[in-house]
Chain A
Amino acid sequence: MNLHKIFIPTTRHAVQLLSITTEDPEIRSVICLNDSFQALPISADYDQFVRRPTGIIEKLVGPGAYRIDVSAPITQGDSWQLGLCLAHIMHHHDTFTATDGELVIWATGTVDTQFGVNPVEHIAAKVAASRELLEAEMAAGKKVVLITAAENLATLRDHIPEEWTAFGVSSMADACAAIGISMPLASASKSLPQESAAARRPGRATMYLMGILAVATLSVGLNIPYQSLRDSYRYEKAGELRALRMEMRTVSRQKNWVATNAYYFFEVFYLLNKSKRLEESLSIAVQSFGDAVSDPQCDAIATSTITKGSLPLLPDKGCNVTFAVTSGTKTDVRIWLALVTHKDANAPAVLMKHGADIKAGQRFVTPAATIHNETTRLVAVISDRSDRAWLGWLDNLLAATSAERMELEIDRLTSTGVGVFQTNWQPYIEID
């Protein structure tokens, strides 16, 4: 059996993965510097990358907690995901080694929840920082394979000798094929595109109907996690939304069918319903703010109310506008409103982000900002709970570069009772 060594490049050095240890499921996955016993700062992100429901490694290979020892620090970013995902698959196939592998793999890229491989930045700097090590491996007779996202391949090719082997991949299956290993079987069906959302719903509906019958016939109380539901309700009331998600996750892990369904009703009829109600209570009016870029077309949009799918057309040079936000709820709410531009698809930039606590009947007006037709996204989030727990999820949503990532963050927000309103300005396309 061929054994493979794997390196993850950073802009400072290439980092070798020295060991992968499957840990007690109670622990959070960690990446630590070899012999230092110090968890690297990216460990929390790695744990999220591993553990269900956000993580993919547990879905791919089973266990949900690992310790990885590495040769040098990895301090930030997500480009380690491709290399670590490959390492886990190799570990699963018993082809991972830290010592004398026949194949040396250099991999950089991010991996999404559908096992798609996405591009990263600083390819040139990473190649430069790894070149000496890779040349030494080649000189020692090893076969070296460089793997990036397909979008990064051209950049990679520009910075490596022609005879080096490099692959641009768009999925983990492609990456596995490039090094001659197979994707673990458990993930194969999960990675089928578009299978999940549409196909799961009817099945769920059937299950939930059966759940109602079961609950009715099985003298209700036997399996319903009353204490857990009471705790979840209390967490929601206290705005401890992370604890709420953790509780929900814990119950889902118990594989108790009745408990899972009880939580489904809690989520759908209480949390999602609340999220929808809050979202629908939002009213956002855009107001033209006359100044140097004022334009008759901008004046025409004055006090337009924003609704999904009907956004005012803007002139090419954009409009200076403010947003007036009100909520129809009778309770105090916390609202954040943000504008994000997607001019650079890989690096969304937050143009504006403002939040306010408002009471029933009050409104808050944002400072002026210039908006353009070109793929500007408006995101408004509303909750009657503290934003301490969910503000981070909003930030993730604003920084998301893929539809999957956005869906994940929106799911986090809505499944904990937070309302999310999102819409885009996009250029009108005229068809001749």
Chain B
Amino acid sequence: MMVDNKPVPDHEKIVAAFEMLVSAQNAVGHVLAPPTAQDHISTRDLLRIAKGPKNEADQALLARVNGDFVARRQFRAILQSQSLASQPQQAAAASIQDDAPQWRSGDAFDLNLIASSKNDGVFYLQLTLNGDQDRDGISQAEVLFAESQRRFLSLPLPKIMDGMAQLMIKQGHPMWDAFHDPEAEFFIR
């Protein structure tokens, strides 16, 4: 008796559909899976660190946000909606001469970077509020965030006095690098 091994058309369709299901499940499996205590970053946590990381645990959480595409996108949305002011990407690369004043300008605030005359790699990062903004409100800002190279950085801001706050950073500090990244965006909160 001859057995016909040729698959019937319906069987091929079933196999193809099954393979599609498996690959789709693999693709979204980590999203559909119930979150574990370790990898879940709640919106409440994101809102908390958007007010400025206060301790090492907050910094660790920010580092986790940087490693998680979804959380990073959520955090960016939170900063965009809740920051007091932001400075968008720059149209052109900022100057990279270390000994010259360097600046990034925005509608709400400008950032200037000035090297210390001591030439020990220390730079003064000055945040200057621009005139037309709600200066009283923005002057309450306590933290500077930057998003550069797909990660968020933060530095606590000293009190903004007479429309200006000044930080000291070392050459090579991540914020120093962010300043020189024309695609970086800055937020104050």
Q: Which residues of A contact B (CB under 8 A)?
A: 19, 21-24, 26-28, 30, 32, 37-39, 43-44, 67, 231, 234, 238-240, 242-243, 245-246, 386, 388
Contacts and interface: CB of A to CB of B under 8 A. Distances in A.
Contacts of A27: 114, 124, 126, 166
A231 B163 CA distance: 14
A115 B158 CA distance: 30
B179 to A, nearest CB: 15
B101 A243 contact: no
A39 B101 contact: no
Contacts of A239: 136
Contacts of A231: 131
A30 B168 contact: yes
Interface stretch (B62-70, B71-79, B115-123): B115-123
B151 interface: no
A347 B122 CA distance: 39
B117 A21 contact: yes
B168 A39 contact: yes
A37 B136 CA distance: 29
Given A24-B114, A30-B166, A243-B163, 18 more contacts: A19-B118, A21-B117, A21-B118, A24-B101, A27-B124, A28-B164, A28-B166, A37-B122, A37-B170, A39-B168, A67-B117, A67-B122, A238-B135, A239-B136, A240-B136, A242-B161, A242-B162, A388-B136
A67 B122 CA distance: 11
Chain A contact residues, majority secondary structure: mixed
Contacts of A28: 124, 164, 166
Given A21-B117, A21-B118, A231-B131, A26 B101 contact: yes
Contacts of B131: 231, 234, 243
Interface string B147-189: 0000000000011011110111110000000000000000000
Interface of B: 101, 112, 114, 116-118, 122, 124, 126, 131, 135-136, 158-159, 161-164, 166-170
Contacts of A30: 124, 166, 168
A209 B158 CA distance: 44
Contacts of B166: 27-28, 30, 39
B162 A245 contact: yes
Contact of B117 (A22, A245, A386): A22
A386 B136 contact: yes
A243 to B, nearest CB: 6
B132 to A, nearest CB: 10
A27 B101 CA distance: 11
A372 to B, nearest CB: 37
A240 B167 CA distance: 23
Given A30-B168, A246-B163, A240 B116 contact: no
7 contacts: A21-B116, A24-B117, A26-B126, A27-B124, A231-B131, A243-B131, A243-B135
Contacts of A246: 162-163
Contacts of B169: 37
B159 A44 contact: yes
Contacts of B167: 39
B29 to A, nearest CB: 46
A139 B114 CA distance: 43
Nearest to A38: B168
A44 B161 contact: yes
Contacts of B118: 19, 21, 67
A388 B161 CA distance: 12
A87 to B, nearest CB: 16
Nearest to A244: B162
Chain B CB count within 10 A is highest, among A30, A239, A386, for A30
A263 to B, nearest CB: 17
Nearest to B159: A44
A72 to B, nearest CB: 18
A153 B170 CA distance: 43
Chain B CB count within 10 A is highest, among A22, A231, A240, for A240
Contacts of A43: 158
Given A19-B118, A67-B118, A243-B162, A37 B168 contact: yes
- Nearest first, the 8 closest Cβ-Cβ pairs linking A and B are A21-B118, A246-B162, A242-B162, A27-B124, A37-B168, A28-B166, A23-B117, A21-B117
A325 B62 CA distance: 52
B108 to A, nearest CB: 15
A39 B161 contact: no
A390 to B, nearest CB: 13
B160 to A, nearest CB: 10
Contact of B116 (A38, A67, A245): A67
B116 to A, nearest CB: 6
B86 to A, nearest CB: 21
Nearest to B166: A28
Contacts of A23: 116-117, 124
A231 B116 CA distance: 31
